[in-house]
Structure 1
C-alpha cells in the first residue's frame, strides 16, 4: 500500500514506475500530450503557468484551449505552447474544432483562468461529456479553479464524474474550494477524513491543498487508521503566490501523461505489475506534482524572499524535476 511508504520510497517508486525515459526510438508526442482548458480575457496567467509547468516537466507537446480574446495574450507569453482560441464568452465554444483536438490528448487540465461565464462553463461541461462518452473516460482530467465551482453547482457534472474509471478524475481544491465541495457532498457520520469521504462518493482522487497536501484515493476505506491517502509535507514557501496551484496542476498533468505512456500505451514494453494499478500511477503522479511544486516554492523563496513571484517558482520546475529524477 502506497500509504505505508516513506517520502523517499514514494519518489523512487515514481521514478521506477511512472517517469518515462528519453530515447531516440520515441517519436514526438509519445512522452506526453497535455491540454490546459481555461483562460479568458481577465485571466491569462493561470493557463500559461499550468501549461508552462507541464512543458518544463518534460511533456513533449503542451496545448491551451482558451477564450478567443485571451489567445493572443497567452501566445505572447511563450512560443513553446500551442494555443487554440476555441472557447467563447456567453455561448458554447467551437466544439467541432475542440473535439478532434481532445482525441489527441493524453491528459486534460480544466479550470485555470476559466472564470464563471455561462458559455465557458457550458463548454467545459460538454468537454467532460465528450471524454466520458466518446473516450470511455480514459483521458484523465484534472479539475481546478472554476471547474471545481462548476462541479459544486451542477449535479449532472457530479454524476458524470462518478462514471469515470477510478483514478481518471483528479480534484485539486484549495481551502475555500474544498469547503464548497464538502458542503455539497457532505461528511461521513463516522468522522472519516472529509477528503477521503469526498473521494469515495465522487469516485475520484482528491488533492486537498494546504499546509500539507493530502491526496485521497477513491479506494474503499474503513476508518482514519486505514491510511488510504498520501500526505505531502515537503517544505515549501512561507509566501503564497497566486499561481502556485497552476504549477501544481501542470506538474500533476505531466506525470499523468508519463504514467499513461507506461501503463496505457506500454511505451517501455510490457513492464506491467499486476499489483500496480492505474490508481497507483495516478496517486503517485499527484504526490510527485505536490513535491515538485513545494520544492520550487522553497527554492524561489530562498532566492527572492518577499519579492517572490509566480514566475520565480514556475521557472524552477525543470531544475527540481532533474534533482528528483535526473
Structure 2
C-alpha cells in the first residue's frame, strides 16, 4: 500500500481545506453514532473539515460526540424530499460526501434525488444503498455488508455485474474485504476478528470518504481504505484484545498511515 499512501498530502504549506472537506448525510434518533464515527474517521485520515447533516432529534447528540465535528439538521426525524436541497447545498461545499451511516428509514426518493444531484466523489453506505440502486450512482464507492450485498445481487446478479454496469467501485465488507471495480478484483485481509464490533463499517465509510476528498480516484480509495481500517484495527486489538470499540480503531488511523508509508 506504500504507493497509494504516498499519494496522500504531506505538504508543509497546506492551508485549511487543502486536504479535503467531507460531509456525511446520516444519523437518526435511534442511530446518532454512525455519522459521528464516519466524521471522526475522516478527520483522523487527514480531512481538514467534517460536516454532518442529521436528524433534528439527533443533531445535539451527534454534535456532542466531538467539538471537531460540525453538525446541522435536516427537516424532521427521517430524511425526506424536504431535505434534499440542504443535502445538495452541503455537497456543493464538499470535496466528498458520505451518505447512509445511521439513516433510519430514509425516503427512497430523497436518497435518489440526492445521489443523482451530487457532482463530487461519493460513498454510499448502509440504508442508502437500496434506494441508490435506482439512481445515477456514477463513479461512487458503495460499501455494502452481507445483507446489502444480497440486495445488490438480487437486482444485478452479481457484484461484478453491478460494478460493471454502473461504473461504481464496490467494497464488500467481511472477514476478507473484496474490492471490485468491474474490471478487477482485489482483496484486503488486513484486520482483526475484534473488528466485528459495531461502528467499524461507519469508520470505513469515513476513511474512504476522506481519501476521495484528498483526491484519490475511487478504485484507489476503495483499495486503501479497508487496509487503513484493518491496520488500525490490528493496532487497537494489540492493545485491548477482543474488547475494542470503533473509536479505538479511529484513534489509531494516523499511526496506521504513518507506519505504512
Residues 103-151 of structure 1: per-residue CA shift (max 9 Å, x gap)? 1111111100011143xx44332211221xxx4xxx1111110011323
Supply the distance in 1 between the matched residues of 2:126 and 2:155 (Cα, whole angstroms): 16
Contact 2:186-2:223 at 8 Å conserved across structures: yes
Task: Say whether residues 1:37 and 2:37 are aligned partners.
Answer: no
- Paired residue for 1:215, among 179, 202, 218? 179
2:4 aligns with one of 14, 18, 37: 14
Q: What is the match of residue 259 of structure 2?
A: 323
The one of 8, 16, 28 equivalent to 1:28 is 16
Indicate yes or no: 2:92 matched with 1:103. Answer: yes
The answer to whether residue 261 in structure 2 is matched with residue 297 in structure 1 is no
Report if the CA contact (8 A) 1:38-1:65 is conserved. Answer: yes
> What is aligned with 1:191?
none
- Structure 1 consecutive aligned stretches of length 4 or more whose deviation exceeds 3 Å: 93-99
2:152 is aligned to 181
Note the aligned Cα RMSD (angstroms).
Answer: 1.8
- CA deviations over 1:255-282 (Å, ceiling 9, x no partner): 111125xxxxxxxxxxxxxxxxxxxx32
CA distance in 2, matches of 1:183, 1:94: 29
Q: Deviations over 1:36-76 (max 9, x none)?
A: 11011111111011110000111111111111111100111
Distance 1:293 1:287 in 2: 11
Larger Rg: 1
Structure 2, unmatched stretches of 5+, are none
Question: Residue 127 of structure 1 aligns to a residue in which SS?
Answer: helix
1:144 aligned onto 2:125: yes
**Aligned-pair distance for 1:211?**
1.7
Rounded to whole Å, the distance in 2 between the matches of 1:233 and 1:297 is 12
Shift of 1:98: 3.5
Q: What SS does structure 1 have at the residue aligned with 2:54?
A: strand
SS in 2 for 1:46: helix
CA separation of 1:46/1:321 partners in 2, compared to 1, >3 Å: closer, same or farther? same
**Aligned counterpart for 2:55 among listed residues 67, 74, 96:** 67
Deviation at 1:201, TM superposition (A): 2.1
Aligned residues: 260
Describe the SS at the equivalent of 2:104.
coil
Asked whether the 8 Å contact 2:98–2:205 carries over to 1, the reply is: yes
CA apart distance, 1:179: 1.3
Give yes or no for contact 1:65–1:87 (8 Å, CA) kept in 2: no
**Aligned counterpart for 2:159 among listed residues 176, 191, 195:** 195
Asked if 2 retains the 8 angstrom alpha-carbon contact of 1:237 and 1:294, the reply is no
Give 1:50's match in structure 2, choosing from 22, 38, 43.
Answer: 38
Query: 3-state SS of the aligned residue for 1:69?
Result: coil
CA displacement at 1:87 relative to structure 2? 4.2
